[in-house]
Amino acid sequence: MRNDDSPPRPEATAASAGPDHRPWFTRRPTLVIAVAALAPTALAGWVLTQVLTGAGPDGRDAKPAATATPPPATPAAAPAPAPAPAKGPLSGRTVVIDPGHNTGNFDHTDEIDQKVDIGTNRKECDTTGTTTDSGYMEAEFTLDVSQRLRTALEAHGAKVVLTHTADRPWGPCIDERARIGNEAKADAVVSVHADGVSSGSRGFHLILPAKVKGGAADTSAIVEPSRRLGERIASNFARTTGSSPANYLGGGTGLVVRDDLGGLNLSTRPKVFIECGNMRDAKDAAQLTSPDWRQKAAQGIADGIVGFLGG
């Protein structure tokens, strides 16, 4: 017999277990399978959340390496500034140096034989120049001395312009050489040469412009300053190189006046030619082919220009 305080009967407990009226323990495998199926999905979601939020394994923020901000690029080094022009007594002065001839002239005789107007008449565009007995070209000598001369003058602060640096196959023509000095408004122009006369004729000489007027030629304004330039160079050249004025012209002064050179006739700036020695004489040739002597030659010419310009 059962009263109200009696524990429920087993069948009553089973009947209240769920809507399908099955005991709870008969539905456990289904629940386990459902949870197992959801676990991979939840794990994948958690990993994605960690990646997107930047959280590390301990819950703190930690950006993945792939999304880390790269270090700022190192800026390219600024180009070194161009060296400032040397300051010196010739600052603000312009000197044009004309290396006589061109080594390529020997291969372009048709071009250099063409006549150009030099004011008073017409003359060949340029010539080949001479050589020593061993084949050292005058054009090699003149370019070497001219480049050394440029260095010496720039050290005094001068702006130096060369009419060419053997960067062209031939020339330039004598009228163009004069024009380069004129257009540069040069304070002084020197054309560097070496002579090619008979052996035994030795020494240097300066060629000065004569007073000429005709066509595009008018040297009246440059005759006197050109003479002063020539005298300055002659005295300094003799002292620096130990060479003597020519023994075959100029009466021992080392100065000669000519009216047949287009480079002088067409110049409107103080200008001289210097024949540094005779390439056809063995003793002079030994000096002209010596780098040490060529350095002295360049320095002697530079000292003369500096003196002429009041440096």
Helix axes 291-308, 138-154, angle to 10 degrees: 50
- Can you tell me the distance from the alpha carbon of 204 to that of 295, in angstroms, rounded to the nearest whole number? 15
Helix/strand/coil percent split, the chain, to 5: 40, 15, 45
Please state, in angstroms and rounded to a whole number, the distance separating the CA atoms of residues 178 and 264. 7
DSSP 275: E
Q: Is 66 exposed, middle or buried (0-12, 13-18, 19+ CB in 10 A)?
A: exposed
Angle among Cα 60, 62, 67 to the nearest 5 degrees reads 155
Q: Count of residues for the chain? A: 311
State the alpha helices, DSSP H only, in the chain: 10-15, 28-53, 109-112, 138-154, 174-183, 223-241, 262-265, 282-288, 291-308
- Catalytic hit among 138, 140, 231, 275: 275
Number of C-beta neighbours around residue 236 at 10 A: 20
Known catalytic residue at 275: yes
Residue with tokens 């069948």: 11
CA distances from 216 to 236, 264, 272, 302, 306 (A): 33, 12, 18, 30, 30
Cis peptide before 172 (omega within 30 of 0): yes
**Catalytic residue IDs:** 275
